[in-house]
With several copies, the nearest count.
Chain A
Amino acid sequence: MNPQGWTREQMAQRAALDIPDGSYVNLGIGIPEMVVQFVPEGREFIYQTENGLLGMGPDPQPGHEDPDLINAGKKPVTAIPGAAFFHHADSFVMIRGGHIDICVLGAMQVSASGDLANWSTGASDAIPAVGGAMDLVAGVKTIFVITQHQTKNGEPKIVEHCTCPLTGKGVVDRIFTNLAVIDVTSEGLAVRDLAPGISFDYVQERTPVSLKLDIKK
């Protein structure tokens, strides 16, 4: 048994498996950015980046980076055939108007009721910076979160109530951790999948919120 469960890449790949063919997808910074590498065979996703591109493609070849063609994390990207450029207000029409199907975000904390905290530790000396996170959770139909199950110090990231400042209340639909895939449902958190060799009890021991095992195969 590997007590670490899925790697970062495997978490991204597992999340990609749950994205339906033809989805319009926005990817947050960090592990979510890796999702772009794992489009399942036979599916086509269209990636939106909120700084003004629909149809974001894979990373550019080294030496072909264009400083005017970047993603929301300000990293160089490419544009696929059939892409479109637009300004920021039009970009957030897509996001805030409910046109993006799925957004995959990182998290500091997710609560049992789907509250998300991912923009600020709330520390007094921190420089607050929110970017598009609050717009995405408010506007996108389905919110996926990819996160380590615990912090490096072994603190839980799935909690009864978030202690960090919220990004949005009751916004998260599904959580992909290194240990499990967990849905936020009206009856509480439901484990839908477990990493190879990880037991439900192992996950529950590391989660201070009651989980329900409900794997639909």
Chain B
Amino acid sequence: MIDKTIASAADGVSDIFDGSTVMIGGFGEAGSPIELIHALIDHGASGLTVVNNNTGSGHVGLAALIETGNVRKMICSYPRTANSMVFPDLYRSGKIELELVPQGSLAERIRAGGAGIPAFYTQTSVGTVLSEGKEEREFDGKTFVMERGLKADFALVKCRCADRFGNLLFNKTARNFNPIMCTAANITIAQTEQIVELGGIDPEHVVTPGIFVDRVLLLENPAQESKLVAEGITYP
């Protein structure tokens, strides 16, 4: 029988190894799997490459993971926001590497990784410093830059509803990078606010089919990052 539910966040992240590439869903706090990130902090793998649109805020969730010093490199499009201090400080002091990728190229690279596409061409970033060192090529009289597909060892995602097959539904704009990261990771761990019986999700409405999900953790009342930040909470 296929049952992807797991008992704890610790179980979910227990095999994340030193040097792993970990995709973490979310756009800002929306769709950020904060409890799974905290479990990863407790688990303590080092030398991680983390893929996320941002770098977290305050001293919880992704920012807290970066603060541990276990993140060697961030791949993201927008590493600073109103309440992000952790990454900027580490970056300025040369303690963390940054691969800056336009947001759409980041999304498409992740999708390509999941789709078996090692490289594709895009007009985005042509003629800018972000295309430097990348192969440029003409198609039909226009210039494009080659971007590589991006894969991960693990993906941590947050969703609204799941079943034991790993089918997932998301909530509004908290969907963002989560579904494509599920496709690009070797092992995907999803935290969900609800688990329903098989058939409880209409097959017409499934956003992430279960084939892309390995572990499902029920977390009925996930923390809200901005509230933790406003309360001045730090993790651990």
Within 8 Å by CB, do A and B touch in the complex?
A: yes
- Chain A residues with CB under 8 Å of chain B are 21-22, 24, 44, 46, 48-55, 66-70, 74, 79-100, 125, 127-135, 138-139, 165-169
Known: A79-B203, A88-B177, A93-B116. 12 other contacts (CB 8 A): A51-B30, A55-B165, A80-B198, A81-B199, A82-B163, A82-B164, A82-B165, A84-B203, A96-B122, A131-B78, A132-B103, A139-B116
Interface contact A127-B80, CB-CB below 8 Å: yes
Complex-state Cα separation, A70 to B226, whole angstroms: 13
Q: Which residues of B contact A129 (CB under 8 A)?
A: 77-80, 100
Contacts A67-B224, A93-B115, A139-B124 hold; do A74 and B210 have CB atoms under 8 A apart?
no
Interface contact A99-B130, CB-CB below 8 Å: no
Interface contact B77-A70, CB-CB below 8 Å: no
- Give the distance to chain B from A114, nearest Cβ to Cβ, in Å: 12
- A46 is contacted by which of B92, B110, B165 (Cβ under 8 Å)? B165
Interface contact B210-A46, CB-CB below 8 Å: yes
- B127 is contacted by which of A84, A88, A166 (Cβ under 8 Å)? A166
Interface contact A132-B102, CB-CB below 8 Å: yes
Interface contact B167-A82, CB-CB below 8 Å: yes
Contacts A46-B211, A51-B30 hold; do A87 and B177 have CB atoms under 8 A apart?
yes
- A85 is contacted by which of B111, B116, B206 (Cβ under 8 Å)? B206
Q: Which residues of B contact A81 (CB under 8 A)?
A: 197-199
Q: Which B72-94 residues have a C-beta within 8 angstroms of A?
A: 77-81, 87-88, 91-92
- B107 is contacted by which of A44, A80, A85, A91 (Cβ under 8 Å)? A91
Contacts A46-B211, A88-B180, A132-B103 hold; do A98 and B128 have CB atoms under 8 A apart?
no
Complex-state Cα separation, A3 to B92, whole angstroms: 41
For residue B126, CB closer than 8 A to chain A, the reply is: yes
For residue B7, CB closer than 8 A to chain A, the reply is: no
Contacts A52-B173, A67-B29 hold; do A89 and B111 have CB atoms under 8 A apart?
yes
Complex-state Cα separation, A25 to B111, whole angstroms: 22
Q: Which residues of A contact B180 (CB under 8 A)?
A: 87-89
Q: Which residues of B contact A68 (CB under 8 A)?
A: 30-31, 171-174
Interface contact B176-A82, CB-CB below 8 Å: no
User: Considering the complex of A and B, which 8 residue pairs feature the smallest CB-CB distances, nearest first?
Assistant: A81-B199, A135-B104, A92-B104, A84-B206, A82-B198, A88-B107, A96-B116, A169-B127
Q: Which residues of B contact A91 (CB under 8 A)?
A: 104, 107
- A44 is contacted by which of B2, B102, B129, B224 (Cβ under 8 Å)? B2
Complex-state Cα separation, A130 to B179, whole angstroms: 22
- Give the distance to chain A from B67, nearest Cβ to Cβ, in Å: 16
Complex-state Cα separation, A100 to B1, whole angstroms: 17
Contacts A51-B176, A85-B175 hold; do A94 and B203 have CB atoms under 8 A apart?
no
Contacts A69-B172, A74-B81, A168-B128 hold; do A94 and B211 have CB atoms under 8 A apart?
yes
Q: Which residues of A contact B115 (CB under 8 A)?
A: 92-93, 96-97
Interface contact B114-A87, CB-CB below 8 Å: no
- Give the distance to chain A from B224, nearest Cβ to Cβ, in Å: 6
For residue B119, CB closer than 8 A to chain A, the reply is: no
16 A–B pairs (Cβ distance < 8 Å), ordered by A: A70-B173, A74-B81, A84-B203, A84-B210, A85-B172, A87-B207, A88-B103, A92-B104, A93-B116, A96-B116, A96-B124, A97-B114, A130-B101, A138-B126, A168-B127, A168-B128
